Amino acid sequence: MGEHPSPGPAVAACAEAERIEELEPEAEERLPAAPEDHWKVLFDQFDPGNTGYISTGKFRSLLESHSSNLDPHKREVLLALADSHADGQICYQDFVNLMSNKRSNSFRQAILQGNRRLSSKALLEEKGLSLSQRLIRHVAYETLPREIDRKWYYDSYTCCPPPWFMLTITLLEVAFFLYNGVSLGQFVLQVTHPRYLKNSLVYHPQLRAQAWRYLTYIFMHAGIEHLGLNVVLQLLVGVPLEMVHGATRIGLVYVAGVVAVPGSLAVSVADMTAPVVGSSGGVYALVSAHLANIVMNWSGMKCQFKLLRMAVALICMSMEFGRAVWLRFHPSAYPPCPHPSFVAHLGGVAVGITLGVVVLRNYEQRLQDQSLWWIFVAMYTVFVLFAIFWNIFAYTLLDLKLPPPP
């Protein structure tokens, strides 16, 4: 029997993590690993007497021999979990569980921790923090429902890269709005200006063959009242989400809300004669995903005044949607073309509570390992393909009379 090694730093990390929070048990699932019969062959090599047990020392030797195939953090945590067996032995089932990662969410979180030591007290109890540290802590409590995730984010966030995606989009939207306002001599309800639709960025049903318009319409807003709410929500909700989940994931949700289901493609199917302007599709996708994540993890979310803030967010979104509906049916400034559609707002919610929720619920986990992710991606792809064929054939088959180009 091999000697029982002294516990390494990973033991403390794992033990601290388990004391911080008992995560809800998940259905056991096998992460990508070698088949179980392969582990049986390896186990028998270290258990020639068929006792059903091997020493932790032999297990360490086995891990060392396979170290080139294991992530260093993962190897350290596996060793720590092996060392936690007080009797110095590992049975066959524990061996298979360790080697195949057949563990609950707490096991995967322990792997993430590696040899990083976590404090046992909550982040809110930390004293003497600098302004930047308090900001990072605030973002963690705003977006993450589990204390162990909040601590990991707080320890690992470096602000490199910064939340460049949301800031860049916001600056571009403001710049285009100011330029357009100076050109038209109008900042409030710009959309009512007779020359508004002549801008080459606006999505217009008669010009739908110009593919760039399916994306560039986000830089055109109906007026300062439209731009103002979108900018506020992008900065207050989008920037913290990007700080936690990264530009790639948040950009994916935002662009998905802009281009397809809630955006220009959806309008081309549901409101075929109307133009589209504004970034509301992307904004509503992010905000809806965030609000849905709070509701689904209500007890774990520790942001202050969450009920009041949710109510304020919903009231603001409802007011903006009401403005869009009123404007759509208001007498047009450029008949026979109607004012811009409001369908983008509704679809933004659809993307947020599907793709968006999957993204926000899986902090530091691979989306491609989530079955719901692939289900929603498949649904999204089917809609996009349907909308493309609809745009090619439906207008002719329905003999729809479109407004003339601006």
Known catalytic residues are 280, 345
Q: Give residue 271's Cα distance to chain centre.
A: 29
Task: Please give the helix or strand (H or E) that residue 386 lies within, else none.
Answer: helix 371-397
C-alpha Rg value of the chain to the nearest Å:
27
Judging by beta carbons within 10 Å of its beta carbon (0-12, 13-18, 19+), is residue 217 exposed, middle or buried?
buried
Match 């470096």 to its residue by tokens.
158
Retrieve residue 293's tokens. 């994540």
Distance in angstroms (rounded) separating the CA atoms of residues 393 and 158: 50
Distance in angstroms (rounded) separating the CA atoms of residues 182 and 217: 18
Distance in angstroms (rounded) separating the CA atoms of residues 295 and 356: 14
Distance in angstroms (rounded) separating the CA atoms of residues 230 and 224: 10
Residue of 237, 337, 236 whose CA lies nearest to 277: 337
Judging by beta carbons within 10 Å of its beta carbon (0-12, 13-18, 19+), is residue 156 exposed, middle or buried?
exposed
Task: Please give the helix or strand (H or E) that residue 345 lies within, else none.
Answer: helix 343-351
